[in-house]
Amino acid sequence: MSVTSGANEYTVHRDWQWEFPVMERAEGIYLFDTDGRRYIDATGGSSVVVTIGHGVKEVPEAMYRQAGKFSFYPTHLFTNTATLELGRKIVELVPQGMRGNSKVWFSCTGTDATDEAVRLARQHFVEKGEYSKYLIISRWQSFHGNSISAAGISGHTLRRRIFTPMFVDSPHIPPAYCYRCPFDSTHPECGLKCAQALETAILQHGAENVAAFIAEPVVGAALGAVPAPEGYFEKVREICDKYNVLLVADEVMTGWGRTGTMFGIEHWGVTPDIIATAKGMTSGYTPLAAIIAHNRVWEPLIANNSPFRAGHTLGANAVSSAGALAVIDYLLKQELVGNSARMGEYFLARMKEKLLPLPIIGDVRGKGLMLGIEIVQDKGNKTPFPAAMKMSSKLQAEAFQRGLVIYSCTGCVHGDSGDMILLAPPLIITKEQIDEVIDVLAASVESLSGTALKSGATAKG
């Protein structure tokens, strides 16, 4: 495998030891390196980005046309047609309760979107004169971005640990994680204790101090595609309404058809107050993010003629907006949201058939084409492998050698152990391509299983 010479000599990558092949081109669900080797992109880029597939010419063509007119402009004094049209298009596609009753703010990355969502929640209450409402409640085993503010709100222990002294206090409640229920209960007999925990946290901190609750409809990097159980977000919505707390849906990963609906929260029939979105909106062709908030959230700012206290130099970028419009048009014309639902159902069934019986696979889960695998040492009691074994990284390497790109995750057990794989192929994937992915995954797991179980037993002893 040809790799860059001294890949980390001048450019910092995500790993100091991994030998990074140089990508040459991409098409559909496939990536090609400079040696001409083909890889199946089963992660949608790095961690749930690519929706419409690689190499869709309409997207760069739309961006080029916009760049031919202008690329950058003074956003404090001008707007642009592409961004205006994109805002209108988004408000037509949001969950029913927000449709036609929302406004959109554009920024650059998913981290920006979650940061600005909680900024808006705070400013909403300040403009209403409710100055004490500032706390943002989130969940353990969650991930909301990589800035200091977003990492503090997140509940991903390994990513938080060294920066903890720098965080603003952010209360956390247990995750909605049925495979490893933090309450040792079973749904639906559990009475949704994981949702009820939100009410407890609000009361403990004082409802007069809590501004918002933020959650991913399907938890991505921190839990490997764990959807909330039936009834969870309905109960959360009820609690938020009871205590005047805004509900923020982190749809950075789950938006734009990824879970088989346009936005992931729609599986629960719930209308959030604010949606944070990015990734799939441009399918990775260009950076762009947004928050979408119901008009009632913006109204206090408008009434006080108070601009939203956020913003980035490259926010509301005209070229990126043109690219996003082309992506959304393609998504709709090719009916990829429906394909995500159908292929996701097929993919999960094949995972249950071929992967779940394997000795180190404890669970398979997901919604639409956002799917996950949990690796365990003992299936009966769900014991994870020792963290030092880095089993998810080893499985990722096994698959990569076979031409399959998957995404390794850790931290589902107490935040510092437990191995998962996140799968999120482009929404154009076919049954035949899914079968190929499953075959490679099965071969990779089988190759790893024998030595892993032996090594795990030795490490345990």
Query: pLDDT by residue (tens digit) across 7-50?
Result: 667 888 888 888 899 999 999 999 999 999 999 999 999 889 99
How many helices (H) and strands (E) would you count in the chain? 12, 17
Per-residue pLDDT tens for 298-316?
Answer: 999 999 999 999 988 999 9
Cβ neighbours of residue 84 under 8 Å, at least 6 residues apart?
Answer: none
E strand spans, 14-92: 23-27, 30-33, 38-41
Q: Count how many Cα atoms sit within 13 Å of the Cα of residue 304 in the half-sphere of its side chain.
A: 14
pLDDT in tens, 40-54: 999 999 889 999 999
- State the CATH class of domain 60-333: alpha beta
Rounded to 5°, angle at Cα 63 from 58 and 68: 125
Supply the pLDDT for residue 454. 66
Tell me which residue has tokens 């108070």: 306
Tokens, residue 375: 């690796």
Q: Looking only at Cα atoms, what is the longest distance across the chain? A: 67
What is the predicted pLDDT for the residue at 2? 46
The pLDDT assigned to 150 comes to 87
Q: Is the pLDDT of residue 125 over 50?
A: yes
Q: Is the pLDDT of residue 132 over 70?
A: yes
Distance (Å, rounded) from C-alpha 43 to C-alpha 407?
6
Please give the Cα distance from 85 to 323 (Å, whole number): 12
**Is there a cis peptide before residue 171, judged by omega within 30 degrees of 0?**
no
Adjacent-strand bridge partners of 275: 249, 292
Q: Do β-strands 404-405 and 370-375 pair in parallel, antiparallel, or remain unpaired?
A: unpaired
Dist. CA 91–CA 15, nearest whole Å: 39
Please give the class, per CATH, of domain 23-52+335-460. alpha beta
Q: What are phi and psi of 137, to 5 degrees?
A: -95, 135
Burial of 429 (0-12, 13-18, 19+ CB in 10 A): buried
User: Which neighbouring-strand residues pair with 291?
Assistant: 105, 276
Is pLDDT at 295 greater than 50 in this prediction?
yes
CA distance 130 to 420: 42
Residue-range domain boundaries for the chain: 23-52+335-460, 60-333
pLDDT at 168 over 60: yes
- Rounded-to-integer distance, Cα 13 and Cα 6, Å: 11
Confidence (pLDDT) at 4 = 53
3-class secondary-structure state, position 106: strand
Q: CB of 377 within 8 A of CB of 383?
A: yes
For residue 455, what pLDDT band results from cuts at 50, 70 and 90?
Answer: low
- Of 373, 352, 368, 349, which Cα lies nearest the Cα of 426? 368
- Which pTM value belongs to this model? 0.95
Q: Is the dihedral of CA 444, 450, 456, 458 positive or negative?
A: negative
